[in-house]
Structure formats: C-alpha cells, structure tokens
C-alpha cells in the first residue's frame, strides 16, 4: 500500500502490492456490478472467507481474510452483539414466579395464565 494510492487491499492484515490490489479491486467492482452487495459470493469465488470495503483516511481499502477471525477483519465484525445477551429490564432480577417469562397479561409463552385473574 503506497502513500499515493487511493485503493488498497489488506489480506489477513497485510497490505497487497499496488498492482495486485488494483487487480483485485477491478475484479471486485466488476463482480458487484452484476451481483449487488454480494460480498460473500465474491469472497467465495476468490477463495476467501470474507471481504469488506472500508474507507481509511481517504483510501478505499478491501479488507480480506483467508481464515475466520483473521486480524485483517474490521473490529466491528469481531465484536459480539451485546444486545443478544441482554435481558429485558422489566424481568431483570425477577424470579419466574414474579413475572419473568410472562407477558403483561400474565400469560406465559404457552398461553397459560399464572397467578390470580384480574377483574
């Protein structure tokens, strides 16, 4: 990746030479013209696990990986989604008999009522 180049490729965290980077960008662009946003399809075609375009300091960078979890992947793709593991604030700390696992109407997932009925 030279100073004056506006296109670059990082393969497993290592920059490709400018000529190789331009050739990969050309193939990437041509493929995406026909297969809009199919990054995974292009990666598979090239024998890669993943490839994603990024902008870094005014340079367009293809971040490519030949193995899962490689250092070349962006940090966002390696971060776990914290929302998946978060529990609802409404049921946080409640035991099942005090409302966890039930809806506001008092019904559980199977539709059975728990506790006394309201009139």
Provide the whole-model pTM: 0.55
d(CA 114, CA 96): 10
pLDDT, tens digit only, all 119 positions of the chain? 555 678 999 999 999 999 999 999 999 999 999 999 999 999 999 999 999 999 999 999 999 999 876 544 444 444 344 444 444 445 455 555 555 555 555 555 556 656 566 66
9: tokens are 């490729």
Long-range contacts of 72-75 (CB under 8 A, 24+ apart): 72/10, 72/11, 72/12, 72/13, 72/14
């Amino acid at each position: 990746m030279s100073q004056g180049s506006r296109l670059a490729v990082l393969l497993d965290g290592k920059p490709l030479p400018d000529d190789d980077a331009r050739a990969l960008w050309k193939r990437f662009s041509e493929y995406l013209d026909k297969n809009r946003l199919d990054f995974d399809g292009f990666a598979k075609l090239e024998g890669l696990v993943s490839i994603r375009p990024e902008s870094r300091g005014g340079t367009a960078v293809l971040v490519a990986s030949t193995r899962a979890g490689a250092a070349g992947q962006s940090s966002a793709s390696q971060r776990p989604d914290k929302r998946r593991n978060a529990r609802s604030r409404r049921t946080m700390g409640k035991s099942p008999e005090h409302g966890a696992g039930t809806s506001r109407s008092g019904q559980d997932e199977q539709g059975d009522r728990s506790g006394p009925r309201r009139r």
